[in-house]
């Protein structure tokens, strides 16, 4: 089908305004990467800056009650801001089902996907977009994403979300929620917080978002950004990647990038800006980026464990109880969220707006 179609003349209009996304572009018969996606050389991932000897920890969480598990999680959060977990309770089948659901959605014809395009979607809680902030970016990112705001038991979800994937998304979220709570309990224990009550739950995980990130096969992946360098604004992010690889994490010291190798059955966990703020910089929200693949479509499924929109975020009293000075002022999560999306990806600059 694709080779018989003429590539679009106005790329931005086709991809962004018409809601075909970069998936529509990849299917349109283009042979080379359009200028809109070509990064200036200094912004490309420099292959000489990829570290291979270091690796982020892989933590076996089969016994969440083992103090060693908590210790490994908290240590990794301080040192790397990133780790992978295995034996977390989600089965290989659970993980395959959610990735398959994402591929089904992006396998729909352009006009079927476009029904969910941002601003046109039948539901407030689901929207399809491309790149990051296409109207604010100098160069577009080679990525589409379908985003679901998850509210347990929400009737809108089963009525209006895309039928090809809605039940799998809801089922995955229900199961992942258990893992998320365990992770947060461990991480908060390391900050002297004994118990996560309802008020704390509202702040830590009041409004989770789950995405299907879709990176279609890319004509020149080395020239493009799948996702440019950024840190997540979440409390934590729990990400499922496929076996293509392509996720890189910035070294805590230095300017090199560490590949996060796909590990069968693992989930990648990273600390987001909100938990860095709550922990007054004990835990690190680390910059990362993703590249598309030259041979295959890549999918990843992050859950952004976000605070409720009106939650007020600042360093936790338990962290400051020994007289430590707060590094951040209090912010309302929805303000932080809006600021993040008002510009292109800019590494870790978003956090500066909260710094005292
Ligand atoms: O696709 C990936 O591996 C990473 C995506 C990511 O960093 C994000 O969606 O925030
Ligand atoms: Fe991210």
- Closest ligand 1 atom to 226 CA: 1
- Closest ligand 1 atom to 232 CA: 10
Please say if the pLDDT value at position 76 is more than 80: yes
Please say if the pLDDT value at position 352 is more than 90: no
Structure tokens at 342: 């008002």
What the chain holds in terms of domains, given with CATH numbers, is 11-354 (2.60.120.330)
Query: Cα 324 vs. chain centroid, distance in angstroms?
Result: 31
Please say if the pLDDT value at position 161 is more than 90: yes
Residues whose CB falls within 8 Å of the CB of residue 175, separated by 6 or more in sequence, listed in order: 89, 90, 94
pLDDT tens digits for range 111-135: 999 999 999 999 999 999 999 888 8
Q: What is the pTM of this model?
A: 0.95
Among residues 210, 186, 221, 208, the alpha carbon closest in space to that of 308 is found at: 208
Give DSSP secondary structure letters for 115-178.
TTBTTT-SSTTEEEEESSSTTT-SS--S-EEEEEE--TT-HHHHHHS-TTTHHHHHHHHHHHHH
Instruction: Name the 3-class secondary structure at 245.
Output: coil
Residue 349 is predicted with a pLDDT of 77
Q: Mutation test of ligand 1: which of 242, 302, 303 has the most ligand atoms closer than 8 Å to its C-beta?
A: 302
Please say if the pLDDT value at position 77 is more than 60: yes
Please say if the pLDDT value at position 2 is more than 50: no
pLDDT tens digits for range 85-98: 999 999 999 999 99
Q: Whose CA is nearest to atom 3 of ligand 1?
A: 247
The answer to whether the CB of 314 falls within 8 A of the CB of 197 is: no
- The structure tokens 């739950």 sit at 201
Please say if the pLDDT value at position 249 is more than 80: yes
Region for 347 from its dihedrals, namely left if φ exceeds 0, alpha if ψ lies in -120 to 50, beta otherwise = left
| Pairwise CA distance, residues 228 & 132, whole Å | 9
**C-alpha 206 to ligand 2 mean position (Å):** 19
Residue 3 is predicted with a pLDDT of 45
The answer to whether the CB of 129 falls within 8 A of the CB of 147 is: yes
Residues whose CB falls within 8 Å of the CB of residue 219, separated by 6 or more in sequence, listed in order: 30, 31, 32, 33, 294
pLDDT grade, residue 344 (50/70/90)? low
| Pairwise CA distance, residues 293 & 246, whole Å | 7
Q: Which ligand is nearest to the CA of 286?
A: 2
Region 259-268: mean pLDDT is 96
Q: Which ligand is nearest to the CA of 214?
A: 1
Residue 54 is predicted with a pLDDT of 72
Among residues 282, 353, 354, 284, the alpha carbon closest in space to that of 318 is found at: 282
**C-alpha 232 to ligand 1 mean position (Å):** 9
The answer to whether the CB of 90 falls within 8 A of the CB of 61 is: no
- Closest ligand 1 atom to 211 CA: 9
Of 7 and 175, the one with more pLDDT: 175
Residues whose CB falls within 8 Å of the CB of residue 135, separated by 6 or more in sequence, listed in order: 16
Q: Is the predicted ipTM greater than 0.90, yes or no?
A: yes
Residue 255 is predicted with a pLDDT of 87
Give DSSP secondary structure letters for 177-216.
HHHHHHHHHHHHHTTT-----HHHHHHHHSS-EEEEEEE-
pLDDT tens digits for range 226-240: 999 999 999 999 999
Q: Mutation test of ligand 1: which of 214, 215, 247, 272 has the most ligand atoms closer than 8 Å to its C-beta?
A: 247
Q: Check if 247 has its Cβ closer than 6 Å to any atom of ligand 1.
A: yes
Q: What is the DSSP letter of 28?
A: T
CA torsion angle 143 243 44 37 (round to 10): -20
Please say if the pLDDT value at position 5 is more than 70: no
Residue 263 is predicted with a pLDDT of 96
Q: Check if 241 has its Cβ closer than 6 Å to any atom of ligand 1.
A: yes
pLDDT grade, residue 52 (50/70/90)? confident
Residue 100 is predicted with a pLDDT of 98
């Amino acid at each position: 089908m694709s080779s018989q179609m003429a590539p679009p003349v106005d790329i931005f209009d086709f991809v962004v305004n018409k809601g075909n996304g970069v998936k529509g572009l990849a299917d349109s018969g283009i042979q080379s990467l359009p200028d809109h996606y070509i990064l200036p050389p200094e912004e490309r991932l420099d292959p000489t800056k990829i570290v291979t000897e270091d690796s982020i920890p892989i933590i076996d969480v089969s016994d969440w009650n083992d103090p060693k598990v908590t210790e490994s999680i908290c240590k990794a959060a301080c040192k790397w801001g990133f780790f992978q977990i295995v034996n977390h309770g989600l089965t290989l089948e659970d993980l395959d089902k959610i990735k398959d659901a994402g591929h089904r959605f992006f396998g729909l014809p352009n006009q079927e996907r476009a029904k969910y395009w941002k601003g046109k979607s039948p539901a407030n809680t689901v929207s399809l977009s491309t790149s990051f902030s296409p109207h604010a970016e100098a160069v577009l990112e080679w990525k589409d994403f379908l985003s679901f705001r998850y509210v347990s038991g929400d009737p809108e979800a089963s009525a209006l979300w895309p039928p090809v994937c809605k039940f799998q998304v809801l089922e995955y979220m229900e199961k992942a929620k258990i893992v998320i709570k365990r992770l947060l309990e461990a991480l908060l224990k390391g900050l002297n917080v004994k118990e996560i009550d309802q008020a704390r739950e509202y702040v830590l995980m009041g409004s989770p978002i789950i995405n299907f990130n879709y990176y279609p096969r890319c004509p020149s992946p080395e020239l493009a950004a799948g996702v440019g360098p950024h840190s997540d604004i979440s409390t934590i992010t729990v990400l499922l990647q496929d076996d293509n690889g392509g996720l890189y994490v910035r070294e805590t010291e230095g300017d090199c990038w560490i590949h996060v190798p796909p590990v069968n059955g693992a989930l990648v966990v990273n600390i987001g800006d909100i938990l860095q703020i709550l922990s007054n910089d004990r835990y690190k929200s680390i910059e990362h980026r993703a590249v598309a693949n030259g041979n295959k479509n890549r999918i990843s499924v992050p859950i952004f464990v976000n605070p409720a929109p009106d939650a007020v975020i600042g360093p936790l009293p338990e962290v400051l109880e020994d007289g430590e000075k707060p590094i951040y002022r209090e912010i309302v999560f929805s303000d932080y969220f809006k600021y993040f999306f008002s510009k292109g990806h800019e590494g870790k600059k978003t956090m500066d707006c909260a710094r005292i």
